Chains A and B, each alone.
Chain A
Amino acid sequence: MLKEGEIRIPSGCAIAAVISKDGNMMTGEKIFKSMIPMHDRSNGLGGGFAGYGIYPEYKDFFALHLFFDDNYSKEECEKYLKEKFEIVKAEPIPTRTIPEITDEPLIWRYFVAPLNSVLRAMQLDEKEYVARIVMKINTHFKGSYVFSSGKNMGAFKAVGYPEDVGRFYKLDKYEGYSWTAHGRYPTNTPGWWGGAHPFALLDYSIVHNGEISSYDANRRFIEMFGYKCTLQTDTEVITYIADYLLRKQGLTLEEAASVIAAPFWSTIAAKDEKEKEKLTYLRTVFSSLLVTGPFSIVLGFENGLMALNDRLKLRSMVVGEKDDKVFIASEEAAIRVMEPDAENIYAPQGGEPVIVRVKEGASNGN
């Protein structure tokens, strides 16, 4: 079989997310159950989750989640990891054997810290250092794939329906202050474990429902800055765009949203002078990072979530809340699973970012 990155088949998908603004911890059970009413939006070729605040005991270490094709790949990759990091713990990620999930690769996690001497010699901050190593492994180590690399967070994904993937990874045993979820219906690629969502780099993770038509334009631009798109999967490029705009360029979330889902020129023309100037600047400087075609995404990051629709709103997305929690999903039914009494249900407009942060000072496992 041709794998992800080797073939492009010309997506309905499902997304969901929940966050506690007070930093209250929730097990992963709610989020994977929320995917059940949206079952038919996926086709069993991919499901995944990202949880934030799930590794409090290792919160100062980068948590690398890896897939290996075989033991040989694992040994080669581990050799490299040992050169680059202090590894404080290495273990298989616990899974349940269930009939719905088969053909699993070797799935391991490593809690690591960059070696100080190497960091100093390379004059890099630790995030850039880790990002470069992730790119290196994913492009040069055949049979090894890093699918999660943030601190105190983790992505979990597989080929299967999302509700089964949640059970497979025992997400009911983890506690996080925010969770995102994805059910996949791949339209361009064959569906492989690495190609399931979320796509994560450092603490940024993206779940995406849609089919972006600007993939190649975005890819060409972003690859000039050291990112390597290895999977031909449009979501991968959105993750790198988020990392580039937020971490490297230092844009705010709102500004990044105005780049990715830039307003139409006619909409910009109707704004006041100051806003017009800013939006014109962002659209001009980052024109190659405008993402066109249908999408609804949830970006997860440390202490927050951002949901965003394409500017024409060609995919559905609903937001609701209850007490300290905010819920986001492709369908209201999914929100009602997580919270039957959710209030203020509304659909954000195309290009209108919904940003939710954990309040400062809230206890969130940090």
Chain B
Amino acid sequence: MEIDANNANYSELNDKIRSAGDECTLKNCLGQRFIAAGMSKKHIDIEGIPGNALGAYLNGAEIIVHGNAQDAVGDTMNEGSITVHGNIGDAAGYAMRGGKIFVKGNAGYRAGIHMKAYKEKKPVMVIGGRTGSFLGEYQAGGIIIVLGLNEDGKPIVGNYPCTGMHGGKMFLRTKNVNIKFPSQVSTNKATKEDIDEVKEHIEKFCECFGYNAEELINDEYIIVTPDSKNPYKQMYVAN
């Protein structure tokens, strides 16, 4: 079903999406916030520019954006997937605790801020281009993969990646060992076992955007993990 988003406000638009059945396409989207918030079991194609907090609290729906998206994509999402054929703004995947975000282009500041994992929930974010500063700030779980596929010569991440990171894993497809990380994380060259664990996500990314998976998988990655399971224990008492 086709929905014309032109001039619709976000709650009106979400009502239409909810009553649209299993599949719908939004046309002429322009800045409406909270699209598909909390929705499950649906496939939504978006043409135009969706507004902030696209797919917030998403609970299983599949969203495909045929262009750029703004800030806070997948804010606190729980399940499902968001695929963006362009760039995304700041704070993507804010506190997401499940589901997947695939971005063809670049991400803004604070991508993956406070991502977390619990039992079978393991959020994944794959960024095709580069990211702004504070990537994975306070990351508590889940997997962030940055592929650095752009050719503009700019660094794959901005300043202060992994500030406050205390869980999860981050993969950066780069040979640059000069990136400054905080002292509470370890960086290593990713081993074959490390890559095997996330291979399926890179393959999925390549399937979405038409890249050669084999080449990307066999490339060199840096893996970043926090040093300790409880980095803050010394701030209080030894326990």
Contacts and interface: CB of A to CB of B under 8 A. Distances in A.
A349 B133 contact: yes
A333 B89 contact: no
B51 interface: yes
A337 B90 CA distance: 21
Given A38-B31, A345-B68, A349-B158, A316 B90 contact: yes
Interface of A: 37-38, 40, 267, 312-313, 316, 318, 331-334, 336-337, 345-347, 349-350
A318 B51 CA distance: 13
Contacts of B133: 312-313, 349-350
Contacts of B132: 313, 347, 349
Interface residues of B, number: 22
A331 B31 contact: yes
B26 to A, nearest CB: 13
B98 interface: no
B31 A333 contact: yes
B182 to A, nearest CB: 12
B30 A336 contact: yes
A350 B108 CA distance: 11
Contacts of A333: 30-31, 49, 51, 70
A92 B199 CA distance: 68
Contact of B30 (A37, A312, A313, A350): A37
18 contacts: A37-B32, A38-B31, A312-B134, A313-B90, A313-B132, A316-B90, A318-B89, A331-B49, A331-B70, A332-B68, A336-B31, A336-B48, A345-B87, A347-B90, A347-B132, A349-B132, A349-B158, A350-B133
Nearest to B33: A40
Contact of A332 (B49, B90, B109): B49
Contacts of A38: 31
Contact of B89 (A40, A316, A337): A316
Contacts of A37: 30-32, 51
**Minimum-distance CB pairs A-B, first 8:** A333-B31, A37-B31, A313-B109, A333-B49, A333-B30, A347-B108, A316-B71, A37-B30
Nearest to A318: B89
B51 A331 contact: yes
B215 to A, nearest CB: 27
Q: Chain B interface mostly helix, strand, loop or mixed?
A: loop
A337 B30 CA distance: 8
A12 to B, nearest CB: 10
A37 B35 CA distance: 14
A349 B107 CA distance: 12
B109 A350 contact: yes
Contacts of A334: 31
B225 interface: no
B52 interface: yes
Instruction: Select the residue from B31, B90, B158 with max chain A CB neighbours within 10 A.
Output: B31
B87 to A, nearest CB: 7
A336 B70 CA distance: 12
Given A331-B52, A347-B89, 9 more contacts: A37-B32, A316-B70, A331-B31, A331-B70, A333-B51, A333-B70, A336-B31, A349-B132, A349-B133
Contacts of A349: 132-133, 158
Contacts of A345: 68, 87
A221 B51 CA distance: 39
Contacts of A346: 87
A188 to B, nearest CB: 23
Residue among A38, A331, A332, A334 with the highest chain B CB neighbour number at 10 A = A332
B40 interface: no
Interface centre among A318, A331, A349 (most CB of B within 10 A): A331
B144 to A, nearest CB: 18
A189 to B, nearest CB: 25
Nearest to A267: B159
Interface string B103-147: 000001100000000000000000000001110000000000000
A64 B58 CA distance: 51
A34 to B, nearest CB: 10
A267 B51 CA distance: 33
Contacts of A316: 70-71, 89-90, 108
Contacts of A347: 89-90, 108-109, 132
Interface in B10-51: 10, 30-33, 48-49, 51
A282 B96 CA distance: 40
B141 to A, nearest CB: 24
A356 B33 CA distance: 30
A351 to B, nearest CB: 10
Contacts of B51: 37, 331, 333
Nearest to B109: A313
B70 A332 contact: yes
Contacts of B70: 316, 331-333
A74 B220 CA distance: 72
A269 B130 CA distance: 24
A312 B132 CA distance: 11
Contacts of B158: 349
B66 to A, nearest CB: 14
A357 to B, nearest CB: 24
A40 B9 CA distance: 10
B104 to A, nearest CB: 14
A350 B158 CA distance: 10
Contacts of A331: 31, 49, 51-52, 70-71
